[in-house]
Structure 1
Amino acid sequence: MKFTTISIARKLKFYQLLVFDQVLQSGSLVRAAQALNLTQPAVTKIIHELESYFDAPLLVRSNRGVTATELGELVVLRAKSLLAELRSLTDEVNAFQQGTAGQVMVGTLISASTSLLPKAIRLLKQRAPGVLVSLRVGQMDQLFPALAVGEVDLVVGRVPDDWSWRNQSPSLDVEVLYGEELSVVAGAAHPLHGKGAISLHDLHTYPWVLPTRDSLLRRTSDQMFAAAGLSTPDNVAESLSILTNLSLMQDQRTVALMPYEATLQFVAAGMLKAFDLGAPMQFGDIGCFFSNARNLGPAARLFRECLYLAARAESDPQQATLDT
């Protein structure tokens, strides 16, 4: 059977593609049905309709759930882009008819999650309370593909030192928001606090919490130790969970490497204290990543404006109150 644009337009429905995408995200027909508030037979029927139309299986079913066939991967890749455009159309129609409304999907890395994004969201809610902001936390290798196909509108996080990612994702671009520093921190009662400037050599034998090995921050931490003529500490836990790291440091011995902005609220609360290592450590630039192949909807455009205002406060504490 040869497909044409007209034949596909007549047979396929956006709702079928939405269900198919949810099934693959959930990894299960049952969980997809729950997420969509449908019955499992209804979801199964829609998948069968799609497979009947394409005259080929789209899913591989096993005891561990469902995955896409090769054809299914092709269909869902295009479906994500179509659904992203449908979401933008919905936002624009709502904004036109009701005023500022809609939804913005934001991917974020740990470095931007604790300070910059809350400020931007507060600004957005002051201007447009009806806009729903959905955050997705992940690593670059998860968030960039999602941004490329429209699953998220923007990604906020550290700009990689290696810009080869642009060769892998040529449709993506970035605007730098501000420069971020790093802090080496521990519980406020750590025995080396209050001893003035110390070195990494002094901290090396203590327990450390370091970022996971697939993260940009881990590469930075490895370079930090190497520059000091040290190997990675032997006593290490790997974690990107701020709350887990905070709990570990309450033993008043464990040391962690964290983005400066991520530590501020815990330092202010007396839970953490930063070590004076004699000179500031640069983490890199924090940027807003976007797809130059897709126009942002009104909600996402408004959020990006709020993000830029919040970034000014990150780079200039004098603007911490943020004009509204």
Structure 2
Amino acid sequence: MSQIPVSLSRKLRFSQIVVFEQVLRSGSILRAAQALNMTQSAVTKVVHELENQLGAPLLVRGNRGVSATEFGELVAKRAKSLLAELRYMTEEVNAFRTGAAGHVFVGTLISASAALLPRAIQLLKAKAPAVVVTLRVAQMDQLLPALIAGDLDLVVGRVPEDGSWHAKSPQLEAETLYREPLCAVGGVHHPLASHTATGLMDMLEFPWILPTRDSSLRLTADRMFHKAGLPGPSNVVESLSVMTNVALMLDQMTVGLMPHSAAQQFAQAGLLAVLPIAGLPEFGEIGCFAFTGRAPGPAVELFRNCLREAATGMVPPAKSDSRSRPS
């Protein structure tokens, strides 16, 4: 009588497959019972049940122990495949539970993507190479709704000073990782690069790159000029494209503003110089946004810990301030 897969699956127990495979591996009912911490009679009973359910003998008993029948060899081949899949599933489940596997979706702005995120990703990959990290670069007004919707697990970037993000989305929390200074930058041969110190007034004669008006950094820049009693530069390009901005500053005349960590990377690469400009405000707090309405997976938690660890190496020293709204 032919077996129907659904009917057979209801009869069979996975433990029967485990016992049968162990008997063949041991070559003896007695040794299999010892390996499985079962009695010999219990192992024999399981094999008999399996034979009855499959409708044919599985084992041949001889002076040297037991071996598989032709039918038993067929079942044993499939049993090994099933047990291999179980082992793979067990490994993957354990890896997922410990955060060693999974997928983390991170939204970011320039404030975090220059130094903090690469360091955090390197730490994560050293601990859990199988975790996939997908980055999405956009403005905060695009990233936070995506975080609430579940398209992102975390958003890493500058925490807006006015707290409007929390008023609009109280289910979000932000953990401050460190505070970032703001730098003025230009080409390595910019006339101001060789000065010991200068002020904003001396920079107004040069072309400027400023953030677009919908960005929080633009508000910081506008307040900077207002506080200094200056009207602001008249020769301006508005851009958030990092590579375009760097290319423009290679004319050795154009100047711009960058968070300290990004400016240092371009300076170390010999592309830009940090200009010695006094009176610049702080860029602000760099933090990690999360949605409180969902329990984060192990891989996401592991990545958050990597962000904290990476932030301790940033300049100035990080502070571990976890809160649901900016101070």
Q: Normalization by structure 2: what TM-score? A: 0.66
- Render the CA deviation track for 1:278-324: whole Å, top value 9, x for unaligned: 35531111010001111111111111110000011114679xxxxxx
- The question of 1:173 aligning with 2:173 is answered yes
Shift of 1:157: 0.6
Whole-Å Cα distance in 2 between the matches of residues 244 and 101 of structure 1? 36
Which residue in the other structure is 2:278 paired with?
278
- Superposition pairs for residues 101-180 of structure 1, below 5 Å? 101-180=101-180
Which residue in the other structure is 1:209 paired with?
209
Shift of 1:207: 0.4
Farther-moved stretch of structure 1 (232-241 vs 302-311): 232-241
Shift of 1:242: 1.3
- Superposition pairs for residues 1-324 of structure 1, below 5 Å? 93=93, 95-96=95-96, 100-279=100-279, 281-315=281-315
Residue 186 of structure 1 contacts residue 273 of structure 1 at CA under 8 Å; is this kept in 2?
A: yes
Whole-Å Cα distance in 1 between the matches of residues 133 and 94 of structure 2? 15
- Render the CA deviation track for 1:53-86: whole Å, top value 9, x for unaligned: xxxxxxxxxxxxxxxxxxxxxxxxxxxxxxxxxx
* Change in CA separation of 1:141 and 1:316 when aligned onto 2, cut-off 3 Å: closer
SS of 1:314's partner is coil
Which residue in the other structure is 2:39 paired with?
none
Corresponding letter in the other structure for 2:161? D
Residue 96 of structure 2 contacts residue 299 of structure 2 at CA under 8 Å; is this kept in 1?
A: no
Whole-Å Cα distance in 2 between the matches of residues 190 and 298 of structure 1? 48
Larger Rg: 2
Whole-Å Cα distance in 2 between the matches of residues 131 and 252 of structure 1? 42
- The runs of 5 or more residues in structure 1 that have no matched partner are 1-91, 319-324
* Change in CA separation of 1:97 and 1:115 when aligned onto 2, cut-off 3 Å: closer
Whole-Å Cα distance in 2 between the matches of residues 98 and 167 of structure 1? 34
Q: Normalization by structure 1: what TM-score? A: 0.67
Which residue in the other structure is 2:69 paired with?
none
Which residue in the other structure is 2:77 paired with?
none
Whole-Å Cα distance in 2 between the matches of residues 112 and 281 of structure 1? 18
Whole-Å Cα distance in 2 between the matches of residues 143 and 93 of structure 1? 30
Shift of 1:275: 1.6
* Change in CA separation of 1:256 and 1:243 when aligned onto 2, cut-off 3 Å: same
Shift of 1:274: 1.3
Once the two structures are aligned, what percentage of the paired residues are identical? 56
Whole-Å Cα distance in 2 between the matches of residues 99 and 224 of structure 1? 43
Superposed CA RMSD in Å reads 1.9
Residue 106 of structure 1 contacts residue 153 of structure 1 at CA under 8 Å; is this kept in 2?
A: yes
Shift of 1:93: 4.5
SS of 1:184's partner is strand
Q: How many residue pairs align between the two structures?
A: 227
Residue 109 of structure 1 contacts residue 156 of structure 1 at CA under 8 Å; is this kept in 2?
A: yes
* Change in CA separation of 1:315 and 1:191 when aligned onto 2, cut-off 3 Å: closer
